[in-house]
Chain A
Amino acid sequence: MELLSKIFIEPFETMYALPDLFLQALWEGFVSGTLYSLIALGFVLIFKASGVFNFAQGIMVVFAALVLVGIHALGVPAYIAVLLTLGVMALLAMTVVRFVMKPLVNQPDIILFMSTIGITFILIAGGQLIFGGEPKAMITTELGLPTGSSDWEVGGGLVIFQHIDIAAAIIAALLIAGLALFFNKTKTGRALRAVADDHQAALSVGISLERIWVIVWFAAGVVALTAGILWAAKSDVSFALQVIALKALPVLVLGGFTSIPGAIIGGLIIGFGEKLFDLYWGSPILGGGTESWFAFIIALIFLLYRPEGLFGEKHIERI
């Protein structure tokens, strides 16, 4: 009885009694949700265009942030460092497509997936070897990102908005809008969607698969860099981020592997869900720290009912 009340009654009483706490949790959930969406977006881009489940997306986020901080540490001005980092990501995209994706074309999906785990390993160790494994501060002010915070008084308490979080949400929205425009309005974008629909048909009308793949991997690199900057501005650039990057997987399961809106909504669901769950149910009943697995368990339960995700393509298949 006591447990039932703890699950079904007390959390809602707390929510009602302390609205500021609730709003704060909602806001934090929204912020981490946008960043999960950003990471998941990189996966979706590559999966859509090549059917490759790119496990390295998470580490690409860390790697991009590391390269940026590393280049800036050499004395390069911040914005030029961003451009140079984009160059490095383009180089990475070309290398991966040339040396991994192209030789593995037509292999089973699982082999391609495992090759991206190999890339993950190379990027983790390579990044540590070049830049060192210790956490570094992100160059937030140099990039012109706001710091500081504002308060908002609600129901006798304060809700605190970090300015960087607001900027993160805006930048993420701009990036997603930009990608949507790119996909829908440009010739390259149309070619990309053609490749996503049918490799062979796209080839037969003269679309170069290799070029499209490089573009897609580069786009994923840009998304990774953005996610890396925004995430590292909140904490630090460190390899601990890769655990957070793994959170993109449940986001994908929720949203569907091929859907960009799915990645966004899935990210927000996971973001809100894990913050609220940890605050109202996880900490009082289970002793806290539930954020490490909540998203995965949600995805697991969700999979049992709707394996194709909220917006994914429905495969007609029964096993």
Chain B
Amino acid sequence: MFYRETGQFKASYKTDSAKFPIFQDKLFIWFYIIIGFLVIPFFGSEFFLGAIMIPFLVFTLASIGLNILTGYTGQISLGTGAFMGVGAYACYKLTLAFPDVNILIFIFVSGFFSAIVGVFFGLPSLRIKGFYLVVTTLAAQFFLEWAFIRIPWLYNYNDSGAIEVPQREAFGVIVTGAQASAEVRYLVVLAVVVIMTWFASNLISGRIGRQWMMIRDMDIAAELMGVRPLYAKLSAFAVSSFYCGVAGALMVFLWLGAAEVESFDYNHSFEILFMVILGGLGSLLGCFLGAAVIWILPVIIRDWLPPLVDALTPFTITSSAADLVSDIIIGVMIVVFLIMEPLGLARLWSIIKQKLRVWPFPY
């Protein structure tokens, strides 16, 4: 009733292979884009934009990167945090070297540095798979973390060992640094995420994406059918690290404002892996849902649990304990989702959609 394609005829191949073949879907997407660009920046508070929406979008982008590798190509990675770091440090060095260039260009260019590093650490994937890849990507994680500390050139010989984001402009508007307003930063991040999501969805439904999925589903069969594993796997590593690199640059330049090595440690890699699992392996929508749950749930618990416990029970709970509670809840959710619905929140959403399509009939 609400969600029915009855009467929507497809008269050409173009409409048949459209991204959103159902009119209601198209309507929804435009609705969300309009809300995102026009409503949230004007009505969202500084805190809501800076502490919830921007990190949520940054993590979404990083999860898209990891999902391309893990969900679509079947190569597991625990080096996401380090690849984000490569993007951040590359962007930092570039913008210090060329202060007058539009910062947005560098945010994209830094992704290429990350892609190169990603391809290098992806090379072992040609001979190995599965758990073994966990080890090689952890090698990337620990080696890069070490490099970020030990190579002072990367953080410009600062005494603190941290990178401080300088003030930079794009198209005459201050985008980074302390002067940049939350609205501007939010809009930039949102624009980057929307463009890159659109790009990823095209890439995935195209030739390269289908090669990735063939490698994931059965690599030997894929090779027999003419997919070259070398190109398929390395391109997945490259694209994935590109996304992570851009996410890292966005994270430091538009969200944190300054970063140390701790911002890129392996806990981050886990967090992003959780977003991908919970959201749904092999689904772009899942990246948004997973990032929303894993980022926003702890914020809610941290704000709401202590007063709730205070009011209802004789105990008190500190905010750091509330953090731990949210960690436990996330851990339990991971296990429960893997048991109940291995394809994550995205699959739940598609089940709901299917039900709405046939409503009021069950089948």
Instruction: Give the interface of A toward B (CB within 8 A).
Output: 53, 99-100, 103-104, 107, 109-111, 113-115, 117-122, 124-126, 128-129, 243, 246, 249-250, 252-253, 257, 286-290, 292-293, 296-297, 299-300, 303-304, 307, 319
What residues on A are CB-neighbors of B342 within 8 Å? 107, 111
A290 to chain B: closest residue by CB: B146
Most buried by B among A53, A252, A290, A296: A296
Cα separation A128 to B229 with both chains bound (whole Å): 44
Per-residue CB contact flags for chain B residues 123-134 toward chain A (1 = under 8 Å, else 0) read 110111111101
Partner of B331, one of A122, A243, A257: A122
Q: A115-B338, A122-B331 are in contact. Are A110 and B130 (CB under 8 A)?
A: yes
What residues on A are CB-neighbors of B223 within 8 Å? 319
CB <8 Å contact, A289 and B149: yes
Cα separation A10 to B149 with both chains bound (whole Å): 26
CB <8 Å contact, B338 and A118: yes
22 A-B pairs whose Cβ atoms sit less than 8 Å apart in the complex:
A107-B338, A107-B342, A109-B131, A115-B334, A117-B270, A117-B273, A117-B334, A118-B334, A121-B274, A121-B330, A122-B331, A122-B332, A126-B324, A246-B266, A253-B135, A293-B143, A296-B143, A300-B124, A300-B135, A300-B136, A304-B127, A307-B127
CB <8 Å contact, B331 and A297: no
CB <8 Å contact, A257 and B131: yes
Interface of B is mostly: helix
A132 to chain B, nearest CB (A): 10
Asked whether any CB of chain A lies closer than 8 Å to the CB of B220, the reply is yes
Most buried by B among A125, A250, A257, A292: A125
Cα separation A100 to B333 with both chains bound (whole Å): 12
A287 to chain B: closest residue by CB: B150
CB <8 Å contact, B338 and A297: no
What residues on B are CB-neighbors of A100 within 8 Å? 335, 339
Q: A122-B332, A296-B143, A307-B127 are in contact. Are A114 and B138 (CB under 8 A)?
A: no
What residues on B are CB-neighbors of A250 within 8 Å? 135, 139
CB <8 Å contact, B149 and A129: no
B147 to chain A: closest residue by CB: A293
What residues on A are CB-neighbors of B339 within 8 Å? 100, 103-104, 115
Cα separation A121 to B324 with both chains bound (whole Å): 10
CB <8 Å contact, A129 and B127: no
A82 to chain B, nearest CB (A): 26
Asked whether any CB of chain A lies closer than 8 Å to the CB of B327, the reply is yes
Q: Which 6 A-B pairs have the closest CB atoms?
A: A118-B334, A121-B331, A296-B139, A125-B327, A122-B331, A293-B142
B260 to chain A, nearest CB (A): 15
Cα separation A122 to B326 with both chains bound (whole Å): 10
What residues on B are CB-neighbors of A287 within 8 Å? 150
CB <8 Å contact, A303 and B130: no
CB <8 Å contact, B136 and A129: no
CB <8 Å contact, A129 and B321: yes
B78 to chain A, nearest CB (A): 9
Partner of B139, one of A121, A286, A288, A297: A297
What residues on A are CB-neighbors of B334 within 8 Å? 114-115, 117-118, 121
CB <8 Å contact, A249 and B134: yes
What residues on B are CB-neighbors of A125 within 8 Å? 324-325, 327-328, 331
CB <8 Å contact, A124 and B327: yes
CB <8 Å contact, B219 and A319: yes
B320 to chain A, nearest CB (A): 8
